[in-house]
Amino acid sequence: MPEFPGYTGGAKVCPVIKITAVTTRVNPIMESCIGPSHEHVSMAGIPTEASIYKMVETAIPGRLLNVHAAPCGGGKFVAIMQFKKSSKNDEGRQRNAAMLAFSAFSELKHVILVDEDVDIFDMSDVMWAMTTRFQADVDLITIPGCHCHVLDPSNDPAFDPTIREHGIACKAIFDCTVPFDLKKNFIRSQFMEIDKDKWAKEIAF
């Protein structure tokens, strides 16, 4: 059975049923969800996002702008959190928010923190932030020995002997946010808006 992480899971107890008839309406529409399609992982991701947002908004109101349980994580393993720092006193709160996310959804494995100018639904933009705003020796926070999810095949003693039991993982926070006092050094390239009056005819086509 294809599972949400993208690997085939073993069948457990599967009772056998014998179908003797199928009744449908005229011109039926069949909805089928095949794992690990985007449809499948989105169904898992939406409640993950809601759980995280509610937890963080309750504890640190007004800073978390959005959260995306990315399809690359099966809707459960990876959350991208868009966090806004409004003053120097907000520095570090983004990491508190990430830890709250792990509390809100225990199966979460990785949290990627980005600023408000990053499109969290565009993985290329998220990876751009990681490339230009992240230094692993200071911005990677690891939390080993946490329970995660048994369907992640890397969470196993065979993968790493330091893992005591299957399903134990090292959770990680990738803080790709810019330090508040350095924001002026990380302004994205700006482009002039189109003069719509000048190009109105061309835009119309």
Residues belonging to the active site: 3
Alpha carbon distance 36, 24 (integer Å): 27
Alpha carbon distance 177, 64 (integer Å): 12
DSSP reduced 3-state for 7: coil
Whether 125 contacts 70, CB under 8 Å: no
Closest CA to 92 of 12, 191, 175, 195: 175
Alpha carbon distance 168, 188 (integer Å): 39
Query: For 145, phi and psi rounded to 5 degrees?
Result: 75, 30
Buried b (16+ CB within 10 A) or exposed e, 149-183: bebbeebeeeeeeebeeebbbbbbbbbbbbeeeee
Whether 111 contacts 143, CB under 8 Å: no
